[in-house]
Every structure is written in C-alpha cells, then in structure tokens.
C-alpha cells in the first residue's frame, strides 16, 4: 500500500506508468522495469536503480520498486534492472567476469534510460553492492551525480561478511569443491571471490560532480572515506531509517518511506525543472531466446487478469507440445517470481528445455503484481485460487491448454494445495508442494497463528540430539530449559492430536478444514495427484504425517500421493548442492510421469 510521505505525490495508476521490457543485444538482453510519469511535465533527470545481488537483491526488491514509483510520481523517470545473468535477464553468453557483467549491464541501462526519457542527466542509484558496481561503471565517463544507498566501498569487507554468514549456517553442509562461497543463494568460485575482494573505492577518485550517501542507521559510516571525497566533490548525507527492515527476510520487510521521501526531494532540488519531451523509443522487446541444457527456449513477460494486474514470465520450448500440462508456479512468501535463490527461474527454464510451458507469476500485492491503493505484501492472499483460475484462463486463451500442474514453495505450496482443493473442474492434474508450512489459512490470520512454530522447535531439538555442542550447551545451562520443556509439552499435545485424528475420528468429514477432509476432496473427488517435496530439516513432513499419516500412507499405496525428501537442505534451499538435487528430482518426477521418455538414470 502506498504511504503518503510529507509533500510527495502518491504513486497511482493515474500518474505513473510502469513498463516491463527486455533491452540490449540479442541473447544478452536485460530485463527492466521503466517507471515514468504520465504527465509530460517532467524533470531533466532519469534514475537507474542498480540492485545488490543474491539475498539482498531479493529482500530489497520491494523497497526499490517503491523508490522507482515515488521518483516517477514526482516527475523523475526511473529504470530498475536485473543484471545480465541474474534475475529474469538473459544469460551472459560472452562469459564476462562477475564485475564486468555488472558494469556492462549498468552502462547499457544508462544508455537505455537516457533514450527512454530524453534526459542526458542519468543518476545512478546503487544499493549495497550495486553502489560499488555503479561507481566502477562511471569511471570512464563523467557523471553529474550518484546515490550510494548503504553502499559497499570495499569488496574484501563484503566477502568477509559472506564468509561469516556461511559459517553461521544452522546445517553442516559439505563444502563445495566448485564454490568458495555458497550461502544465501550466493555462489562465488575462488577466482570470483578474489576478483570481488580486489574492488576498493577507498581513497579512490570517482567521476562525479556530487554524491548522496544514504548511510545505514545500524552501522558506523566510513568517515575517512567521506572526508577524502569531500576534498574534490560535493558529498551530501541522509540517514537511511530502519535499514535492517529493507534487507530482512522478504515477508518481514518494511519500506522506509521517510527515507524515500528525503531521497526523492533531494533529487528534485538538484535537477532542472524543465519539461522534457522524449522521442518514441522502440529498441526493446517482450521476449528473449535462451539456451538451457542445450535446448532453445523462449521467455516472455505477460500481464493478465483484471486490468492486467497480474505479472508473470512464461518459459516455453521452441516446439510446443499442446498435449502436455502447463506448469503454474506461485510466489514463495514475498519473493517475486524469480523465486528464492533463483529456484523458480531454474525450475521453469529446465522444464521448458524438456518440452513444458511454465508460468511463474506474482500474486496480487507481491513482486510486480500491484494494485495501487490496495494492501501489498500479503503472502497468503484471500481467495488465492481465483488468481490460479485467472492464470488458467489466460493460458487457455494463449495455448488452448486444458491441463495444469501447480507448484510453489512455502506459501506457494499452500496456494497450489488450496487451488487443488477448491477448483473442481478436472483441469489440475497434479499439485507439487515444496516445503508447505500450513494446509489451512483464513482471512485475518497472521503467520504466528500457524501451528508450524511448535513443529519447527521440535525439529530443531531433534537435530540437536545428534550435535555434541548442543549437549554441552544443555549441560552448561546455555540452552533454555523453559523453552525445552515447552517444546516437549507441545510435542505431547501434537502426538495426542495425531492419535485422535488418525485412529479415532479420521472418518469424520464434518470438519471441512481438516487436513483429512481436504486430502480426501483433492485426491478422490477432484482427482488431483499430490507430490510433496520436503527438506529433511523442515517440519512439513512431520506436520503432514502427524495430522493425516494414516490417510497419506493409503494414498501413497494407491499412487495418489508421493513424497520426495532432500537431505541437508533448509527451507528455501539456499545452498547449491541440495537446491540442485531438489530441482533434479522435481524435473525427473515430472518428466517420468508426463513424457514418454526413457527416464532411467
């Protein structure tokens, strides 16, 4: 939901226009969103927003989208980008280094932004590592101004942060031989780590007339570096309020509207108040070609639903088999359609490489499916099955499709489960649920209302049983005995309820919200197969078996339910090896059930 900030104009469908596009050379296109004022009375500047990478890219997506909206509503167009080889952009066919691909992307985006807006004054806004990339991109060209939002000045320090994060992982992963850094979706080889470590803006002149620093409110600023820059250029500073709220888990993020307000107002005062008329720009496309697993696939963005309020990206094979079901992938939490750690992107492209059409889409209020004036960031939207139906209607128009496979992680798993329960037109042949955390949701519920917390706590203590350090902490009193006793009590309650449900009144269909009732409806009445894909450390399998284990075992015997488990994986598969295993097993499952291929490994 847009928030009124001081005297800024609220972004609405009437005063800004948001346009998705692919730009750049064929097979090396960047995916971008261009936010522009509807009014022709614009300011003589355009902002290119350079995001960070990996987890910070995902979690800051919401804030940077709002930032672009508020710039546009105030008369300053803004361009958001996915770097080449990241997000929804094409792959880097020239295999540039990590740094060179980012610099190439930013320089391309700067040219495109200037042509789109008609402005020569291109302001680079870099968030975290994006600020370091933007500073390097500007070295060979003079720039009016740049905005460092919690910018990284020293690549070596950032690498140390990543390595420290890797060491704090709750699961003891086997270190990859290929990657030195493998954490939170970030993959760097030793060579790439060394390259990033050598980047340093300390005591380095940069090609700007002025810089705006948005300093973190939870971290001491680099006074020595700021003093060095002030010797030759104008440096202004703003304190970024609630920085931690921007980069925390996506479903918990808060947008710092006050900081955005200061940022936009500062920029408005720095640029000329003149009307800019831009020529028509047509150097962009709505689809791209990608080579995935040696197969040519096509990706294209689509907008559909009421007032085209849903956004998604379709991956399709070069030759379409209309007999195959289409895969629909729903948001995981508040992550946009790329999915946590690029999981959805990877699944969609690999499935398209073997012949399937896939749609990964944003539900209302998540990612880029926004309805101005309505609440955003609702990870369990009411009547989510209606948005699945909207996907089906759109895909039926485009491909004359009649059969669908639904999938998603976490809340996306719930939406796939809920749609299989409520849509009874025989269009859904299977729902593949990846680490679901609930099977029931009502309007007004909040995440803490879910019973998952007690299962998560028990899962943690169960893993701790086999950990020597945990026993030492218990003996020395460093583990809370109170929390342990609460967990034991909750476990006994869960076990009692399990016996009651599975062996006493499992035939009672009066409770339509019970897991037993829903499974019966989905598998027997609606004739939808269910596949569960669980991380072995996640509580989902425990929840399923305790609440409906007897029925689940029966459904497994009749091949209406199947269960896949992944070892040493966390909830979002943030490490490469278990994530790759999860993708491989999901692809193998779909291929062996829907393609007439020899699927023996």
Mean pLDDT calculated for residue range 266-278: 77
Q: What are the beta bridge partners of residue 531? A: 432, 562
Taking the C-alpha atoms of residue 341 and residue 575, their distance in angstroms, rounded to an integer, is 9
Does the pLDDT at position 188 exceed 90? no
Is the CB of residue 357 less than 8 Å from the CB of residue 399?
A: yes
Taking the C-alpha atoms of residue 85 and residue 441, their distance in angstroms, rounded to an integer, is 37
Q: Which residue has the higher pLDDT, 295 or 447?
A: 295
Which residues have CB under 8 Å from 342's CB, separation 6+? 86, 87, 185
* C-alpha atoms less than 13 angstroms from C-alpha of 485 in its C-beta half-sphere: 3
| CATH architecture of residue range(s) 287-450+511-594 | 3-Layer(aba) Sandwich (3.40)
In terms of average pLDDT, the best of 24-33, 213-222, 476-485 is 24-33
CATH 3.40.50.1820 residue ranges of the chain are: 16-154+202-270, 287-450+511-594
Mean pLDDT calculated for residue range 139-162: 84
pLDDT score recorded for residue 556: 97
The class of domain 16-154+202-270 in CATH terms is alpha beta
Q: Indicate whether this model's pTM tops 0.75.
A: yes
Does the pLDDT at position 54 exceed 80? yes
- From 581, 514, 468, 485, select the one nearest 172 (Cα to Cα): 468
Share of the chain above pLDDT 70, in %: 82
Taking the C-alpha atoms of residue 103 and residue 98, their distance in angstroms, rounded to an integer, is 9
Task: Provide the residue count of the chain.
Answer: 601
Q: What pLDDT digit, counting tens, does each position of 313-354 carry?
A: 999 999 999 999 999 999 999 999 999 999 999 999 999 999
Is the CB of residue 329 less than 8 Å from the CB of residue 419?
A: no
**Mean pLDDT across the chain, nearest whole number?**
86
Mean pLDDT calculated for residue range 48-77: 96
| Angle (CA) 511 328 389, round 5° | 60
Q: What pLDDT digit, counting tens, does each position of 362-397 carry?
A: 999 999 998 777 778 889 988 899 999 999 999 999
Q: What pLDDT digit, counting tens, does each position of 538-558 carry?
A: 888 888 988 888 999 999 999
């Amino acid at each position: 939901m847009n928030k009124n900030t001081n005297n800024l104009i609220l972004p609405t469908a009437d005063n800004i226009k948001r346009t998705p596009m692919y730009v750049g050379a064929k097979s090396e296109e960047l995916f971008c969103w261009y936010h522009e004022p509807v009014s022709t009375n614009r300011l003589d500047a355009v902002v290119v927003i350079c995001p960070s990478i990996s987890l910070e890219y995902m979690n800051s997506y919401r804030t940077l989208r709002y930032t672009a909206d508020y710039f546009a509503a105030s008369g300053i167009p803004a361009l958001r980008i996915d770097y080449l080889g990241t997000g929804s952009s094409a792959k880097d066919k020239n295999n540039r280094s990590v740094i060179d691909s980012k610099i190439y992307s930013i320089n391309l985006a700067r040219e495109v932004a200037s042509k789109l807006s008609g402005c020569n004054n291109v302001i680079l806004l870099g968030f975290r590592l994006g600020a370091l990339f933007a500073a390097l991109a500007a070295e060979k060209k003079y720039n009016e101004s740049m905005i460092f939002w919690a910018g990284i000045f020293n690549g070596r320090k950032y690498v140390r942060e990543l390595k420290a994060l890797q060491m704090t992982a709750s699961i003891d992963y086997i270190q990859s031989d290929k990657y030195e850094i493998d954490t939170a979706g970030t993959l760097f080889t030793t060579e790439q780590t060394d390259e990033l470590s050598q980047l340093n803006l300390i005591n380095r002149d940069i090609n700007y007339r002025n810089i705006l620093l948005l300093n973190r409110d939870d971290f001491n600023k680099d006074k020595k570096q700021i003093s060095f820059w002030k010797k030759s250029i104008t440096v202004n500073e703003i304190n970024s309020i609630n920085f931690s709220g921007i980069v925390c888990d996506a479903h918990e993020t808060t947008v710092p509207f006050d900081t955005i307000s200061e940022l936009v107002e500062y920029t408005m005062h720095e640029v000329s108040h003149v009307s800019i008329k831009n020529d028509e720009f047509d150097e962009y496309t709505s689809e791209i070609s990608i080579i995935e697993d040696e197969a040519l696939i096509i990706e294209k963005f689509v907008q559909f639903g009421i007032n085209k309020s849903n956004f998604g990206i379709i991956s399709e094979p070069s030759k379409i088999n209309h007999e195959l079901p289409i895969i629909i992938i729903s948001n995981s939490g508040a992550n946009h359609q790329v999915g946590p750690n690029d999981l959805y992107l990877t699944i969609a492209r690999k499935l398209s490489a073997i012949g399937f059409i896939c749609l990964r889409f944003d539900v209302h209020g998540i990612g880029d499916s926004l309805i101005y004036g309505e609440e955003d960031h609702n990870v369990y939207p009411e009547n989510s099955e209606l948005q699945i139906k909207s996907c089906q209607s759109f895909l039926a128009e485009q491909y004359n499709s009649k059969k669908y496979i639904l999938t998603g992680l976490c809340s996306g798993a719930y939406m796939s489960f809920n749609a299989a329960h409520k849509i009874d037109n025989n269009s859904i042949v299977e729902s593949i649920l990846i680490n679901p955390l609930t099977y029931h949701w009502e309007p007004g519920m909040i995440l803490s209302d879910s019973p998952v917390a007690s299962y998560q706590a028990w899962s943690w203590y169960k893993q701790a049983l086999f950990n020597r350090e945990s026993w030492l902490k218990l003996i020395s009193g460093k583990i809370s005995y109170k929390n342990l006793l609460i967990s034991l009590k909750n476990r006994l309650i869960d076990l009692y309820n399990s016996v009651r449900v599975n062996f006493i009144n499992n035939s009672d269909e009066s409770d339509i919200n019970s897991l037993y009732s829903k499974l019966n409806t989905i598998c027997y009445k609606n004739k939808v197969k269910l596949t569960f894909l669980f991380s072995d450390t996640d509580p989902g399998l425990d929840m399923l078996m305790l609440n409906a284990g007897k029925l689940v075992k029966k459904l497994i015997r009749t091949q209406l339910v199947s269960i896949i488990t992944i070892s040493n994986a966390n909830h979002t598969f943030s490490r490469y090896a278990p994530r790759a295993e999860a993708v491989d097993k999901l692809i193998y499952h779909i291929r062996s059930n829907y393609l007439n291929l020899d699927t023996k490994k």
